[in-house]
Chains A and B, each alone.
Chain A
Amino acid sequence: MSSVESVPPPNLVAPPRRRGRRSSLRSWRRGDQLIFVLAWTAGVALCLITASIIVFLAVKGVAYLSPKLLVTSPSAAVNQAQSGGFLDPIVGTVTLAVIGTLIATPLAVISAIWVVEYGRPRWLVGIVETSIELIAGTPDIVIAIFGLALFQLGILAPLSFRSTGGGVYGRSFLAAGIMMSLLALPLTYTATRNGLRAIPRHMREASYALGKTRITTIRRVLLPSLRPHVATGAVLGMGRIIGDTAIVVVLLGATLQNSPENGVPLLGFLRGTGSTLSSYIYDNSPAGEGNAPQKAYAAVFVLVLIIVALNAIVGRVSRIGVHASAGTGRLSR
């Protein structure tokens, strides 16, 4: 990576603008003064809302979370004291995040490399780029209901849970994980593509000059310097997967406990139904069936801790990446 460090990073944050003397504010028109105040209000309000959400959830979470909740399975009970913890949802969340990221990352990286490095024929590149953009704009609930139709096909039956009568429900960890990868794909793709575009042309040319082929250049030169970008993209995708509820409710069944399908242990688990932290929260809110707000607050606290941790990772990794190449320091993804 040291070879890239010599490239000066472009303006990632707008350089501070000269504001003129403070006193000049009084000479502004009334309307401008109002906008000035409103802009400050909006900025401060955004910070305050974020802070108050986090603090509120932390206070509630600390009040209701106990270590026992993390290691006991949920059980059906009217009383909140007896309805168990959320071990199964945590296992479910981790499983889905792993499946989704494992599928999405290679697909996204390969697509990005093909689009940027080969880019022929142009029309096909256009189609691939447009369709990834379209996937990014598709609501998660539509992806979920598409997955249900897909995995109810007889040919895909081995991937999901079956009723005793042989009917295919199309619901399983595998089904949900595969559909989750569609959520993560655009994020990982964009991060990787921006990273590739930021690698200066002369690095490739140096490799070609040594007689390397395009694909060797990609493997030996481009991929190593892409690592921070791929990592950022994968973590962003993971965050998206962990927070998603609609796909879990529709495609994983959002059952009380993870219920493996009979058969091989691991495969049976992946073919079975279950729940995640997000669906556990949904079910335990007044909108769901459980209506156990204390459990929901405790689970939300765990979920938000995970999200904050992932955000911290993205912040760290992309800060390292900024030194290597440009493009990740931008606010939007």
Chain B
Amino acid sequence: MSGARAVLERLRKPWSDNRAERMLGAVACLTALSIVAMVVFVAQRAWPTFSHDGLSWLGSGGNLDNQIGAMVSTPANPPASAFVFHAWPLIYGTLLTAVFAVVLGLAASILTAIFIVDFAPPAVRRLMTPVIRLLASIPSVVFGLIGVLVLVPFVGNDLIGAGQKASVANVIQLTGAGLLVSVVILTVMITPIMTALITDALGSVPRSWHEGAVALGLNPLRATIAVSIRAIRPAIISAAALATARAVGEAIMLSMVSGGVSFTPKFQDGVIFLFEPLRTLAEEIVQQSEGLSAPALRSSIYSIALLLLFSGFMLSIASRLARMPLRKYELSS
């Protein structure tokens, strides 16, 4: 007890600067340590899969659902053949949804940013900040619920014709859950984040640059596009990278509206392409989180997590590198 009191007494006394610096630094390093621990733990658990599958893990082949089904029933010390896992359908599904959503979201957010900075009446401009914040803070499960209870039935009953359903009935069922609904909701989820970043960057462009362009005879919109948008290109790329990270990591919403089938939507199917179901990497982890007691399956799930972790890192770093040129003009904080 007296020892504890002595420690308390020492802590209560004014700290010397050296001691404070060391203590605060130690706590700060703790946060850095958590990311190291994350990589180590996930990589260690994922190792069996990568050592057995190698690069064929990334490829396609066989039916993914069958491969996972086989893993569930493997014994405690699974043979090498139990680790066969070809993640291509999941990677394809992730890329497809993320790329479409980011491209659409980018167009929407640049237009919205121009609207906020250049065209919106002051009252509307004041309204936009809380609106964007609110939209950005709506949880993904809420978007998922709206998707699965409102959009999926609408697409399934009203947009997809009976003929279209019949034409692919022997391959997949078109219920409405699929690419279109996934991309639409994902776009709504990532647009506010990008809009916020791009609007901030646009607002930090010196007014004189814009005025100079107008004085040279450009109309205000041309001046914005030719000068302001050009100047903040790095910020736009950086925002897109962050939004991509968000889209790639989205799990709950997509597991509610994507259809959950390891199918690869095909462009050559025409309009039906938009309605075809898919499954993404993050979604797979959610769906298999109950079955982690099977060693082979657990390792495969952690290998997916490792891929997501790695792509998250790459996108974060890309976003930071892309922002670098802005410092030259002191356009960013």
Residues of A within 8 A of B (CB): 11, 13-20, 24, 27-28, 32, 35-36, 38-43, 45-47, 49-51, 53-54, 56-57, 106-107, 110-111, 113-115, 118, 120, 124, 127-128, 130-146, 148-150, 182, 185, 189, 194, 213-216, 218, 239, 242-246, 249-250, 278-279, 281-282, 285-287, 293, 296-297, 300, 303-304, 307-308, 310-311, 314-315, 327, 330-333
Among the listed A18, A43, A140, A182, which residue makes an inter-chain contact with B111, where contact means beta carbons less than 8 Å apart? A43
Beta-carbon contact of A39 and B119 below 8 Å: yes
Q: How far is the CB of A315 from chain B (nearest CB, A)?
A: 6
- Asked if B141 is an interface residue, CB under 8 A from chain A, the answer is yes
Taking CB as reference atom, which chain B residue is nearest A49? B188
Which residues of the partner chain B approach A216 to less than 8 Å between Cβ atoms?
Answer: 14
Q: Which of B36-44, B49-57, B64-72 contacts A (4 or more CB under 8 A)?
A: B36-44
Which residues of the partner chain A approach B125 to less than 8 Å between Cβ atoms?
Answer: 13
Contact residues, B157-193 vs A (CB, 8 A):
188, 191-193
Which residues of the partner chain B approach A113 to less than 8 Å between Cβ atoms?
Answer: 24
Beta-carbon contact of B139 and A303 below 8 Å: yes
Taking CB as reference atom, which chain A residue is nearest B152? A286
Q: Given the known A-B contacts A146-B41, A243-B140, are A43 and B128 also in contact in the complex, defined by CB atoms under 8 Å?
A: yes
Q: How far is the CB of B168 from chain A (nearest CB, A)?
A: 22
Beta-carbon contact of A139 and B250 below 8 Å: yes
Among the listed B28, B131, B220, B245, which residue makes an inter-chain contact with A50, where contact means beta carbons less than 8 Å apart? B131
- Asked if B325 is an interface residue, CB under 8 A from chain A, the answer is no
Q: Mark B224-254, 1 if CB is under 8 A from A, else 0.
A: 0100000000000000001001001111100
Which residues of the partner chain B approach A130 to less than 8 Å between Cβ atoms?
Answer: 320
Beta-carbon contact of A286 and B251 below 8 Å: no
CA distance A172 to B182 in the complex (A): 31
Which residues of the partner chain A approach B108 to less than 8 Å between Cβ atoms?
Answer: 42, 45-46
CA distance A34 to B6 in the complex (A): 74
Q: How far is the CB of B221 from chain A (nearest CB, A)?
A: 5
Residues of B within 8 A of A (CB): 14-17, 20-21, 24-25, 27-32, 34-38, 41-42, 44-45, 108-109, 111-112, 114-120, 122, 124-125, 127-135, 137-142, 144-146, 148-150, 188, 191-193, 195-197, 199-200, 202-204, 207, 210, 214, 219-222, 225, 242, 245, 248-252, 255-257, 260, 282, 285-286, 289, 292, 301-302, 305, 308-309, 312-313, 315-316, 319-320, 333
Beta-carbon contact of A139 and B144 below 8 Å: no
Among the listed A137, A143, A213, which residue makes an inter-chain contact with B16, where contact means beta carbons less than 8 Å apart? A213
Among the listed B144, B192, B193, which residue makes an inter-chain contact with A282, where contact means beta carbons less than 8 Å apart? B144
Beta-carbon contact of A250 and B17 below 8 Å: no
Which residues of the partner chain B approach A278 to less than 8 Å between Cβ atoms?
Answer: 139, 141
Taking CB as reference atom, which chain A residue is nearest B306? A142
Beta-carbon contact of B31 and A111 below 8 Å: yes
Q: Given the known A-B contacts A133-B316, A249-B289, A281-B142, are A215 and B20 also in contact in the complex, defined by CB atoms under 8 Å?
A: yes
Q: Given the known A-B contacts A20-B220, A139-B282, A287-B255, are A134 and B312 also in contact in the complex, defined by CB atoms under 8 Å?
A: yes
Which residues of the partner chain A approach B249 to less than 8 Å between Cβ atoms?
Answer: 138-142
Beta-carbon contact of A293 and B315 below 8 Å: no
Beta-carbon contact of A331 and B221 below 8 Å: no
Among the listed A40, A249, A286, A330, which residue makes an inter-chain contact with B286, where contact means beta carbons less than 8 Å apart? A249
Beta-carbon contact of A142 and B144 below 8 Å: no
Q: Given the known A-B contacts A20-B220, A139-B250, are A243 and B333 also in contact in the complex, defined by CB atoms under 8 Å?
A: no
Which residues of the partner chain A approach B122 to less than 8 Å between Cβ atoms?
Answer: 16
Q: How far is the CB of A42 from chain B (nearest CB, A)?
A: 4
Taking CB as reference atom, which chain A residue is nearest B318? A137
Taking CB as reference atom, which chain B residue is nearest A20? B220
Most central of A282, A303, A315, A333 by chain B CB within 10 Å? A282
Number of A-B contacts (CB under 8 A): 304
CA distance A9 to B319 in the complex (A): 28
Q: For the A-B complex with A128-B28, A215-B14, A281-B141 known, give 9 more contacts whose Cβ atoms are closer than 8 Å.
A: A14-B202, A36-B119, A36-B221, A53-B142, A110-B28, A139-B308, A142-B42, A149-B302, A249-B286
Q: Given the known A-B contacts A36-B119, A133-B316, A243-B139, are A296 and B145 also in contact in the complex, defined by CB atoms under 8 Å?
A: yes
Among the listed A106, A128, A285, which residue makes an inter-chain contact with B148, where contact means beta carbons less than 8 Å apart? A285
Beta-carbon contact of A32 and B219 below 8 Å: yes
Among the listed B27, B141, B308, which residue makes an inter-chain contact with A141, where contact means beta carbons less than 8 Å apart? B308
Q: Given the known A-B contacts A107-B27, A145-B302, A331-B200, are A46 and B251 also in contact in the complex, defined by CB atoms under 8 Å?
A: no
Q: How far is the CB of A59 from chain B (nearest CB, A)?
A: 12
Among the listed A17, A27, A303, which residue makes an inter-chain contact with B220, where contact means beta carbons less than 8 Å apart? A17
Of the A-B pairs whose beta carbons lie under 8 Å apart in the complex, a sample of 26, sorted by A's number, is A13-B203, A39-B111, A42-B108, A43-B119, A46-B135, A46-B195, A47-B127, A50-B135, A53-B138, A114-B28, A130-B320, A132-B31, A133-B320, A137-B312, A142-B308, A146-B41, A150-B41, A215-B20, A244-B139, A285-B145, A296-B149, A307-B134, A315-B130, A331-B132, A332-B193, A333-B196
Beta-carbon contact of A285 and B144 below 8 Å: yes
CA distance A110 to B280 in the complex (A): 37
Q: How far is the CB of A327 from chain B (nearest CB, A)?
A: 7
Which residues of the partner chain B approach A36 to less than 8 Å between Cβ atoms?
Answer: 119, 221
Beta-carbon contact of B145 and A138 below 8 Å: no
Beta-carbon contact of A15 and B200 below 8 Å: no
Beta-carbon contact of A139 and B248 below 8 Å: yes
Beta-carbon contact of A11 and B203 below 8 Å: yes
Which residues of the partner chain B approach A303 to less than 8 Å between Cβ atoms?
Answer: 139, 141-142
CA distance A138 to B316 in the complex (A): 9
CA distance A299 to B118 in the complex (A): 40
Beta-carbon contact of A307 and B138 below 8 Å: yes
CA distance A145 to B28 in the complex (A): 24
CA distance A25 to B124 in the complex (A): 20
Q: Given the known A-B contacts A39-B111, A53-B146, are A47 and B119 also in contact in the complex, defined by CB atoms under 8 Å?
A: no
Among the listed B32, B37, B139, B202, which residue makes an inter-chain contact with A128, where contact means beta carbons less than 8 Å apart? B32
